[in-house]
Amino acid sequence: MYLKLSSRLPLVLSLFLLLILTPSQDRSAAAAEKTHAPSIAGLPKVLPKVTKNAVGIYQLAKEGQWEKTLLAVEEIKNVIPQFSVEGYEPSKIYAPQLGKVAGDLAEAASAKDRHTTMMLANRITLFSSGMAAPLRLVIPTPVELLMFYGRELEIWSDANDTTKLADTVAGIDKTWSDLQPMLEARGGTKEASMVRPILLGLKASKSAQDYAQFSKPLLHAAEKIEMIFRQNSGNGSR
């Protein structure tokens, strides 16, 4: 009996080891995968880069530099998976939308569709600011939104879409209501005075040409406001 049993021992032991080790290995692999999964800690670095890249795509498409546009689109597509952060509520909302928009953006850029490429690139900056909102980064979300709306003015003025332009002005008005007290609390009264006449002019605008003249001044004011928050943070990071 002993001889028969011992002759079968290697087979029995192998089966036993297979049963107890395989799940452990699977768990180890899952743990390793989870370790390298996107995390909230990585978002403060990822989000500003995505926004900057999207603004770059916007500008390149505007100038008709399609080869560089396509390269920049691929960079954004490669970063999109980092937006899927488990347990972070904005990720559930924006990560799927970002994936779809990035795909649509690649198609628009490949087709050299200037208007759609600019529009989708700008939308990515909107989603990025939405992802960043709860993180309380150096540059507040309303500043990013002001820049988003400045580009929207340009996009929809070019398209002669006064309905979209009116919606954009409503967004600017709401954003400024949120941003103004934050800005003035940091001593940005001069910068605040730049925005007020722009907003008044936009509210009085009727034609696409009327709206168009305020796009660059608004973007310029938003850049000045961004500098105020960077200086108040004590460093150059977002």
Distances (CA, A) of 46 to 38, 41, 82: 10, 10, 8
pLDDT of residue 112: 98
Distances (CA, A) of 181 to 80, 138, 190, 222: 33, 16, 13, 15
Using the 8-state DSSP alphabet, how is residue 41 labeled? G
Q: How far apart are CA 97 and CA 222, in angstroms?
A: 26
pLDDT of residue 13: 37
pLDDT of residue 9: 42
pLDDT surpassing 80 at residue 57: yes
pTM exceeding the 0.85 threshold for the entire prediction? no
Rg (alpha carbons) of the chain, rounded to whole number:
25
pLDDT surpassing 70 at residue 1: no
